[in-house]
């Protein structure tokens, strides 16, 4: 459909260096989830710099009620599909529930994702992950650490709840962020934390930050594609905005998302937490 490269907005491959430069120059980083080749191609056309093969696929593709049933084989299958549809975006893939509970096991599973086509792997957790992040980093695997509301811990949290609300919880998130950066994390992703804390953390760490429900101060933004196209199966979280409105097609919805993240009209105050 879009085999003509001239239609694509990303003219050269997005790398970790590109993303670091964007943080330094305060240009917002855009990210959307994708799980297949076709949507990935449309995201390339719209200029979405980074694509997350999220374990949210368990919910929006497989129809599970959480991300826990997703396997590393599922993640590899979708990463390979995204890779085949991709030209220049940077691909991050989630490590599935319990696929990184021990460092050596994490290395074996991260290797599978990298061989399937990921440019970086994402793991949920805090300081306890430092040894694993260090091992992956030393072996040449870029790592994104996902903090705040970590959906694989939903049963421990007792629901999808905003994190980092008390001063103690906010201080702990800062310490954990610094520990993970010291261990080699290249990107930090914050989910469902107060907007002010998103700002504090983004200013405190030297690596790019990406937020979802973390306010407009993070270096980048991510949304689950289905949510921003208005085809969420269940309850719609507060941080979601439907971009498939006003007679837009899917490409135009992705373009509107890129524009609003770049000019900081998305997320607005109504999409954040106090
Ligand atoms: N479609 C979809 N979108 C997502 O963003 C997403 C998934 N699936 N699956 C995995 C996780 C689960 N996520 C979620 C799910 C629900 C809320 C939610 O309802 N949050 C409440 C906050 C409640 C509070 O105030 O503590 C909200 O109102 O937004 C947040 C993140 C994010 N991820
Ligand atoms: C919600 C994002 C950050 C994610 O981890 C996913 O899509 O799985
Ligand atoms: Mg995930």
Structural contact between residues 122 and 189, judged by C-beta atoms closer than 8 angstroms: yes
Give tens-digit pLDDT for 196-242.
Answer: 999 999 999 999 999 999 999 999 999 999 999 999 888 899 999 99
CA of 249 to the centre of ligand 2 (A): 24
Judge whether 171 is annotated as a binding position.
no
pLDDT at res. 163: 98
State which ligand 1 atom lies nearest to the alpha carbon of 240: 5
Give tens-digit pLDDT for 144-184.
Answer: 999 999 999 999 999 999 999 999 999 999 999 999 999 99
Give tens-digit pLDDT for 56-81.
Answer: 999 999 999 999 999 999 999 999 99
Domain boundaries, the chain: 5-271
ipTM of predicted complex: 0.97
φ, ψ dihedrals at 91, nearest 5° = -100, 120
Q: Is the CB of 212 under 6 A from ligand 2?
A: yes
CA of 238 to the centre of ligand 1 (A): 8
Q: Is the CB of 194 under 6 A from ligand 1?
A: no
Model confidence, pTM: 0.97
Q: Is the CB of 60 under 6 A from ligand 1?
A: yes
- The answer to whether residue 113 scores a pLDDT higher than 70 is yes
Average pLDDT for the chain: 96
What band does 1 get if pLDDT is binned at 50, 70 and 90? very low
Distance CA 177, CA 197 (A): 12
Which residue among 192, 236, 271 is best mutated to probe the pocket of ligand 1, counting the most ligand atoms within 8 A of its Cβ?
A: 192
CA of 4 to the centre of ligand 3 (A): 32
Per CATH, the number for 5-271 is 3.20.20.60
- The answer to whether residue 6 scores a pLDDT higher than 60 is no
């Amino acid at each position: 459909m879009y085999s003509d490269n001239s239609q694509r907005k990303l003219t050269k491959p997005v790398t970790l260096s590109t993303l670091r430069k964007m943080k330094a120059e305060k240009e917002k980083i855009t990210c959307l989830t994708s799980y297949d080749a076709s949507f990935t191609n449309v995201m390339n056309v719209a200029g979405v710099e980074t694509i997350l093969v999220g374990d949210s696929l368990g919910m929006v593709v497989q129809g599970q009620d959480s991300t826990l049933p997703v396997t590393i084989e599922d993640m590899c299958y979708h990463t390979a599909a995204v890779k085949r549809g991709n030209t220049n975006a940077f691909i991050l893939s989630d490590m599935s529930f319990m696929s990184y509970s021990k460092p050596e096991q994490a290395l074996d599973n991260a290797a599978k994702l990298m061989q399937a086509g990921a440019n970086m792997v994402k793991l949920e957790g805090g300081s306890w992950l430092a040894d694993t992040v260090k091992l992956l980093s030393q072996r040449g695997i870029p790592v994104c650490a996902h903090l705040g509301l970590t959906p694989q811990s939903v049963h421990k949290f007792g629901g999808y709840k905003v994190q980092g609300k008390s001063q103690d919880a906010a201080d702990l998130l800062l310490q954990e962020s610094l520990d993970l950066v010291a261990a080699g994390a290249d990107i930090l992703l914050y989910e469902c934390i107060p907007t002010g804390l998103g700002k504090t953390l983004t200013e405190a760490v030297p690596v790019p930050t990406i937020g979802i429900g973390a306010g407009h101060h993070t270096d980048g933004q991510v949304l689950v594609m289905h949510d921003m196209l208005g085809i969420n199966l269940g309850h719609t979280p507060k941080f979601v905005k439907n971009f498939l409105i006003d007679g837009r097609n899917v490409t135009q919805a992705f373009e509107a998302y890129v524009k609003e993240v770049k000019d900081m009209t998305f997320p607005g105050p109504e999409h954040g937490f106090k």
